[in-house]
């Protein structure tokens, strides 16, 4: 089984392929929106190219371009060309400075923010340590605001210059209604988080599950630029999943699909932080490893220790030959293989991307795990390719910012509609 | 948890809603095909209605209608109307007798066939007992041919009058290439079944996984007429699944998606007939129940007994209070709940249809199983509706015939293309 590990230091200026939206199928989105998204994806394009690409008449593109130019959202640029024949071609490009958005990833240890211009280029990045324990919505809001201010200062901007914000966080997040039904970061249940944040920050705020946003980041400036269908599995504080079918994020009927971490891998199994037993993440996520780490390390059970440090110690011990430490990773690896085999059996993806902090522990995605995944799957002769994308937190935040950009584009188009 | 059991004696003349095809998205299929499929779904419609429904110009519908009328595929019918004003409206309908197709479901105990006219109405049905054990492709072909002849005799037709055949069977079926990579009915692996059948029967033959065909049957003349998205789980000789997203069957990258029966519910668990351990169907399918039935019934382990009779005895014993028999159904029910909870976590469907022979054993879909499914799922407040559809084998065959009809329509349209 070949695994390809992709080194994923994100490029400073990605050509953001924000084409495929989440909500409507590509064909049903207003043409204005499709024109803007096409320009964002391609960087620049002539009217004729845009018309050809979107399979509409050049006249309709010309009319829309006129309106978007008048509104200051796009501009004409003359590109010199080799041949001396004819007029130099005129390309359309987005006006970068017309709008600015922010994206934030909230997590158990570090919160991360990024600010993008209208074309999707990164203007600033920032991060702050998270509160140690799960907190109230008010406390989370205060942390978010502090982080946002830090990123704005980095960009030399004021908050009122932002056109929108999107936030990704772990848990059962209802994107449509902007509510957090349950999150490991929050004490409250069913918190009306987007509305709370909007009221405090004075900005349009979109909320989403963090794995969905990492999947959107892959769709928009990662694997999705070459692939229309793929699955993404995140392994860090929990286990998440995103699925792209036909260039679109699959969300399920109520927006709660892809909770791979809470699929059951054992009846009456290990206790999960969701309160149920036998969930995949109760065997694979970092809190599952931590649960047994203290035993393997002979550490004081009462001692409060940073999770990343503890796991690093555990990993080093396993590498050094500590059998108990090795067995923790081996068992987690077998359950991960089982979870991945179930993804293969149900979705038959041609590509599975493994991502998130935990995947840096090679043991978890070692060849043995991949071999076991294959052994547990029906033999079709088409095992999916598995890639390990060692993205940092910043890419999750970029996924959030891309969502903010997409929501902004929808609003702008909505305003323009007759 | 409310379960609705739908009594599913299929109507003799269903209005076949064959609109949504499997391959291409609705918009990308040729307009000729969409016109034919719309007429099949609606029974009859005026040119103006067709144009409105398909969002194309009336002129293009008129041109296509002219060609299809000349080819004898559709006809004009004048419908009287209440008002005396204007010309009576002219509707287009499919010419029922223009083509005839057959659909066959191959299974471990009984094979079933149905013959449909071009509009999707049932002309004849037939079934024959299956060979007791897994057999060679040649033997399966002989059984299929005998069944087809029986159905043709029932319809008073000769084989040369058939325009196409589709066959559904359990296992890893590669629909695109017409191959059976593995099937519990077959001794051979990777059998080039569609080509073999085509050569012997002299007909175009499409092959598909049986659960996919039952899902198509639901999509075309069952739940799908009201729902654009649903999941279907079949429990009988094995455990199968089909998923409809946005009116289309989801097949995965290589056509092997939705193998719910072979998702793992236990590491190193019960042996499955696929040769692996811990598959859901190794706990829930009829062979899993049979494995323990003889112990619970104190029956002779060597005795050869029909599976359906044995399971009926087991069920009666459980009803009568035999604790061992009850525990077999209870355990199967718990694992089924676990499998369904995993479907809920990953797909977040608004409707799950349970179908297949086993679902007649009320124990398996009793309220206790549904309660456990809910208990094992994250609490989103949106538990999917679960319906039990007690279809007989004939509906699976109708799904196959609908696939044959769909393939035929594609061929006809291909011939017509300039």
| Spatial separation of the C-alpha atoms in residues B152 and B137, rounded to whole Å | 22
| In the predicted structure, residue B6 carries a pLDDT above the cut 60 | no
pLDDT value of position A62: 94
Closest among A329, A128, A304, A313 to A235, alpha carbons compared:
A329
Chain-chain contact of A257 with B182 (C-beta, under 8 angstroms)? no
To probe the interface with B, which of A170, A346, A386 has the most B CB atoms within 10 Å?
A: A346
**B168/A301: higher pLDDT:** B168
**pLDDT single digits (tens) A51-83:** 998 888 899 999 999 999 999 999 999 876 655
Average pLDDT over residues B257-265: 96
Bridge partners of A389, per DSSP, are A6, A355
**pLDDT single digits (tens) A338-357:** 999 999 999 999 999 998 77
Query: Which residue of B181, B264, B349 is in closest CB contact with A252?
Result: B349
pLDDT value of position B38: 87
Number of C-beta neighbours around residue B124 at 10 A? 18
DSSP-derived pairing of the beta strands B179-182 and B172-174:
antiparallel
Closest among A272, A275, A265, A263 to A237, alpha carbons compared:
A272
| Spatial separation of the C-alpha atoms in residues A184 and B65, rounded to whole Å | 59
Bridge partners of B100, per DSSP, are B117
* Residuewise pLDDT in 10s, chain A (418 residues): 445 555 444 443 333 333 333 434 445 678 898 899 889 888 899 999 999 988 888 999 999 999 999 999 999 998 766 555 666 679 999 999 999 999 999 998 899 999 999 998 999 999 999 987 789 999 999 999 999 999 999 999 999 999 999 999 999 999 999 999 999 899 999 999 999 999 999 999 999 999 999 998 888 878 777 888 999 999 878 899 999 998 889 999 989 999 999 999 999 999 998 899 999 999 998 888 888 888 888 766 566 677 778 888 898 999 899 999 999 999 999 999 999 999 999 999 999 999 877 666 676 778 889 999 999 999 888 889 999 887 778 888 999 999 999 899 989 988 754 4
Name all domains of chain B by residue range, CATH numbers in brackets. Answer: 9-97 (1.10.10.10), 99-215+394-416 (3.30.420.40), 227-391 (3.30.420.40)
| Spatial separation of the C-alpha atoms in residues B365 and B388, rounded to whole Å | 8
State yes or no: ipTM above 0.95. no
Query: Which residue of A252, A342, A384 is in closest CB contact with B347?
Result: A252
To probe the interface with B, which of A345, A351, A373, A376 has the most B CB atoms within 10 Å?
A: A345
Number of C-beta neighbours around residue A85 at 10 A? 6
pLDDT value of position A133: 77
Chain-chain contact of B335 with A379 (C-beta, under 8 angstroms)? no
Query: Which residue of A27, A341, A380 is in closest CB contact with B181?
Result: A380
Measured between beta carbons, the chain B residues lying within 8 angstroms of A347 are: 252, 257
Chain-chain contact of B260 with A375 (C-beta, under 8 angstroms)? no
**pLDDT single digits (tens) B320-349:** 999 999 999 999 999 999 999 999 999 999
pLDDT value of position B310: 86
**pLDDT single digits (tens) B195-241:** 999 999 999 999 999 999 999 888 887 877 788 899 999 987 889 99
How many Å lie between the alpha carbon of B19 and the closest alpha carbon of chain A?
Answer: 18
| Spatial separation of the C-alpha atoms in residues B394 and B14, rounded to whole Å | 13
| Spatial separation of the C-alpha atoms in residues B92 and B75, rounded to whole Å | 6
pLDDT value of position A3: 52
pLDDT value of position B389: 85
What is the dihedral sign for C-alpha A53, A57, A58, A61?
Answer: negative
Q: pTM of this prediction?
A: 0.85
Closest among B14, B62, B378 to A280, alpha carbons compared:
B378
| Spatial separation of the C-alpha atoms in residues B229 and A72, rounded to whole Å | 40
| In the predicted structure, residue B102 carries a pLDDT above the cut 80 | yes
Bridge partners of B180, per DSSP, are B173, B191
To probe the interface with B, which of A263, A275, A330, A333 has the most B CB atoms within 10 Å?
A: A263
| Spatial separation of the C-alpha atoms in residues B78 and B88, rounded to whole Å | 7
Helix/strand/coil (H, E, C) string of A267-297?
CCCCECCCCCECECHHHHCHHHHHHHHHHHH
Contacts (Cβ under 8 Å, ≥6 apart) of A37: A18, A19, A21, A29, A406, A409
Q: Percent of chain B having pLDDT more than 90? A: 58
Bridge partners of A110, per DSSP, are A129
Q: Contact at 8 Å (CB) between A96 and A159?
A: no
pLDDT value of position A86: 64
Q: Could you write out the DSSP letters of every residue in B368-412? A: HHHHHHHHTS---S-PPEEEEE---HHHHHHHHHHHHHHHHHHHH
pLDDT value of position A264: 97
Q: Contact at 8 Å (CB) between A184 and A134?
A: yes
Measured between beta carbons, the chain B residues lying within 8 angstroms of A229 are: 253
Burial of A306 from C-beta contacts in 10 A (0-12 / 13-18 / 19+): exposed
pLDDT value of position B37: 86
Beta strands in B158-313 (DSSP E): 164-169, 172-174, 179-182, 205-209, 230-235, 239-245, 248-249
| In the predicted structure, residue B63 carries a pLDDT above the cut 90 | yes
The residue in chain B having the minimum alpha-carbon distance to the alpha carbon of residue A380 is: B181
pLDDT value of position A13: 39
Query: Which residue of A25, A251, A380 is in closest CB contact with B172?
Result: A380
How many Å lie between the alpha carbon of B345 and the closest alpha carbon of chain A?
Answer: 5
């Amino acid at each position: 089984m070949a695994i390809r590990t992709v080194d994923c230091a994100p490029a400073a200026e990605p050509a953001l392929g924000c084409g495929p939206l989440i909500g409507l199928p590509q064909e049903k989105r207003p043409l204005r929106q499709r024109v803007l998204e096409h320009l964002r994806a391609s960087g620049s394009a002539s009217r004729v190219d845009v018309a050809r690409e979107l399979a509409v008449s050049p006249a309709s593109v010309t009319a829309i371009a006129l309106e978007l130019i008048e509104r200051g959202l796009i501009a004409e640029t003359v590109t010199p060309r080799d041949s001396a024949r004819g007029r130099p071609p005129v390309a359309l490009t987005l006006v970068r400075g017309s709008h600015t958005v922010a994206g934030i990833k909230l997590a158990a240890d570090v919160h991360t923010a990024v600010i993008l211009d209208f074309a999707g280029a990164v203007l600033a990045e920032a991060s702050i340590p998270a509160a140690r324990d799960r907190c109230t919505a008010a406390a989370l809001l205060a942390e978010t605001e502090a982080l946002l201010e830090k990123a704005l200062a980095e960009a030399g901007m004021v908050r009122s210059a932002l056109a929108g914000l999107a936030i990704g966080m772990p848990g059962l997040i209802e994107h449509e209604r902007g509510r957090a039904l349950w999150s490991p970061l929050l004490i409250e249940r069913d918190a009306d988080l987007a509305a709370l944040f909007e009221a405090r920050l004075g900005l349009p705020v979109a909320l989403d599950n963090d794995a969905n946003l990492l999947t959107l980041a892959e769709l928009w400036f990662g694997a999705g630029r070459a692939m229309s269908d793929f699955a993404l599995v995140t392994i860090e504080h929990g286990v998440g999943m995103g699925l792209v079918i036909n260039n679109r994020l699959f969300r399920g009927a109520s927006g709660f699909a892809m909770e791979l971490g809470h699929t059951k891998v054992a009846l009456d199994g290990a206790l999960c932080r969701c309160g149920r037993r036998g969930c995949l993440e109760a065997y694979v996520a970092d809190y599952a490893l931590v649960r047994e780490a203290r035993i393997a390390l002979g550490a004081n059970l009462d001692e409060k220790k940073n999770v990343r440090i503890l796991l690093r110690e555990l990993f080093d011990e396993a590498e050094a030959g500590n059998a108990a430490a090795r067995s923790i990773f081996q068992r987690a690896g077998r359950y991960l293989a089982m979870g991945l085999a179930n993804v293969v059996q149900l979705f038959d993806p041609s590509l599975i991307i493994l991502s998130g902090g935990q995947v840096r522990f090679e043991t978890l995605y070692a060849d043995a795990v991949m071999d076991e995944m294959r052994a547990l799957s029906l033999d079709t002769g088409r095992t999916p390719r598995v890639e390990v994308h060692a993205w940092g937190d910043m890419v999750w935040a970029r996924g959030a910012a891309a969502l903010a950009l997409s929501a902004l584009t929808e609003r702008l188009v909505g305003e323009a509609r007759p």
